Chains A and B, each alone.
Chain A
Amino acid sequence: MAEPLLAVRDLSIQFFTYQGVVRALENVNLTIQPGEIMGLVGETGCGKSVMARSVLRLIPDPPGKITGGEILFKGENILKAHRRRLREIRGNRISMIFQEPMSSLNPVYTVGNQMEEVVILHQKVNRSRAQEICIQMLQQVKMPDPERVLGKYPHELSGGMRQRVMIAMELSCRPDLLIADEPTTALDVTVQGQVLTILDDLVRRIGVSVLFISHDLGVIAQLCGRVSVMYAGKIVETASVRDLFAAPRHPYTEGLLQAIPSVDKDRDTLMVIPGIVPRLINPPGGCRFHPRCTKRFDPCDNIVPKLFEVTPGHEVACHLYGEGQG
């Protein structure tokens, strides 16, 4: 296997709050190969946003602390990089787009201003050249009338257009990795369709790897090549998208797949995962999913399951599949 573009190894992050210590991430392992679209799926509070932000070291400290592990970007440990190196990487080699573009764009500057700023900063060109680059990028994201758009303020654009601006901005420096944190969750479904198609197309053309975070399994199924499932701060399953949907191993993944209503299938009642997502201040011992798992047995309460490769490329962290089992 070629060297992975991004390798997160045993990452643990905790938040120190008045209420106690929130164990947001624990021993998280994730790899992204060059040129692939990697999905990260999980529900609210599972830690996927924390994961995304930690790659760019955007976790505020205090109250967050990285208590263990490393994040290797092309072999270099980002957690040990100093400020100047981080600035070189952010926006340039690793870019990020967020769910709510209104908060990522400064409302008092025009779109053009902000886009050009990024280009000038990283590519060290003058303003008119930067403007050309921006127009080109806007054309790549199929923005009608790019010159006019540059002169507009963020609030004058619709949600879908703002996301396209964000995509254009973040890809203008041809980064190696794009982290997309729920980029289409706040958009209407027809607009989401447009944005996802544009993103998919652009990403393949430029050759950017993507870490695509979402809670929507439909989007993940349509867009990603491989996917990791997160639950309560841990990765519970990683596989190719085909394998995951065709043969989910972890009980949580199974439950999740059965809980989504689909336009294709017709079921009277949806299968439900009993209970609720645990608070991470005092997460359950052993396997964090055990209180809700219909298949739990003895070891689940106390022993933390490790990621185990069930079939090539398909890993699960579950005692049902351990050494000598499954």
Chain B
Amino acid sequence: MWNQFRKEHQWRIKEFFFTLRLLRHNPSAVAGFIIIVLMVLMALSASFLSPYDPIRISLKDRLSPPSLAHLFGTDELGRDIVSRVMYGSRISLRIGVFVILIAGGLGSVIGAISGYLGKKIDNLIMRVMDVILSFPPLVLALALAAALGPSLNNAILAVAFVMIPKFARLVRGEALVVKEKQFITAAKASGAKSLWIVLHHILPNCFSSVIILGTLILGETILIAASLSFIGLGAQPPTPEWGAMVSVGRKFLMDQWWYATFPGLFILITVIGFNIFGDALRDILDPRIRR
């Protein structure tokens, strides 16, 4: 089984390691990658490494500054901020990944169909995408989340919806180029139906662009989700979400700076990490630079 897999994918595997090598030599890629890995590790290990239970209330310790017992201090209910930040990473990453998967998946298919079929359908779909894009993303996400009701899953759906047009646009552009290639005509000549061509020919050829867009958007996604929680539409208390923490922490910014600062800092680092990694990835996957 493994041998068959290896035979079929030997080139993909080689390319993968080649990409890794290139990434290794690129400082921003390495930096971004480290950040991402640390965040992921933090999310995965939260349950064993977190010093306290993130929702355990301890009113006698409320609003204590950073100390040896509480490295990031405590919030107004005495909950340890380190633990909340660690568990918060799970939420943020979960939001990021699901949004990208949903938006990327749906957006790519929509874009591919639109680009491949062209003419009226393309026009129709793209105008709909334009309408969605004409709203500032945060505002639209807000409206949707509000309409759906305040919950984490609804926040994910709302942000995903907002991100769909970006993927659709990108994939549509690539589809326009790919559909002129001779292997598409060959597929038609062999009797393949349009949907088959879109799924088996067009989408695989857009794959790397979609991945790159995904990493670049991930940062923006986390920010929007944080903003939603900021307003109370995303993660609901007592779930520790970075944005929510910053929101509440605002009140205490003057005297208890640690409350909003640490979660905010983690938002910053995560978004930057994904962005610079995505940038480096885009450069590396550019076929002109590769050879």
Contacts and interface: CB of A to CB of B under 8 A. Distances in A.
A18 B14 CA distance: 14
Nearest to B18: A18
Interface in A18-37: 18-19
Interface string B253-291: 000000000000000000000000000000000000011
A18 B25 CA distance: 12
A17 B18 CA distance: 13
A38 to B, nearest CB: 32
For the residues of B in contact with A, the DSSP-based class is helix
B251 to A, nearest CB: 54
Nearest to B22: A18
Interface in B209-253: none
Contacts of B291: 17-19
Nearest to A63: B291
Contacts of B22: 18
For the residues of A in contact with B, the DSSP-based class is loop
Interface in A49-90: none
Contacts of B18: 18
Interface residues of A, number: 3
A313 to B, nearest CB: 41
Interface in B1-47: 18, 22
Nearest to A17: B291
A18 B22 CA distance: 9
Contacts of B290: 18
Nearest to A19: B291
A31 to B, nearest CB: 34
A19 B18 CA distance: 10
A17 B290 CA distance: 9
A19 B290 CA distance: 10
Interface string A5-27: 00000000000011100000000
A304 B74 CA distance: 78
Contacts of A17: 291
B57 to A, nearest CB: 57
A152 to B, nearest CB: 28
A17 B22 CA distance: 13
Nearest to B289: A18
Interface string A282-315: 0000000000000000000000000000000000
Interface string B174-202: 00000000000000000000000000000
Interface in A94-138: none
A41 B256 CA distance: 80
Nearest to B21: A18
A294 to B, nearest CB: 33
A128 B18 CA distance: 57
Contacts of A19: 291
Interface in B44-82: none
Interface in B119-158: none
Contacts of A18: 18, 22, 290-291
B285 to A, nearest CB: 14
A197 B100 CA distance: 62
A307 to B, nearest CB: 33
A19 B22 CA distance: 12
A90 to B, nearest CB: 26
A9 B22 CA distance: 38
A279 to B, nearest CB: 13
A176 B22 CA distance: 46
Interface in A207-246: none
A141 to B, nearest CB: 35
A18 to B, nearest CB: 7
B176 to A, nearest CB: 22
B20 to A, nearest CB: 13
A283 B196 CA distance: 42
B291 to A, nearest CB: 7
A217 to B, nearest CB: 28
A108 to B, nearest CB: 23
A19 B291 CA distance: 8
A71 B114 CA distance: 56
A17 B291 CA distance: 7
Nearest to B290: A18
A17 B289 CA distance: 11
A83 B291 CA distance: 28
B97 to A, nearest CB: 32
A57 to B, nearest CB: 23
A258 B244 CA distance: 79
A16 to B, nearest CB: 12
A12 B18 CA distance: 29
A65 B18 CA distance: 24
B23 to A, nearest CB: 13
A50 to B, nearest CB: 16
A289 B276 CA distance: 48
B230 to A, nearest CB: 45
6 contacts: A17-B291, A18-B18, A18-B22, A18-B290, A18-B291, A19-B291
Interface of A: 17-19
Q: Which 5 A-B residue pairs are closest in the complex by CB-CB distance? A: A17-B291, A18-B291, A18-B290, A18-B22, A19-B291
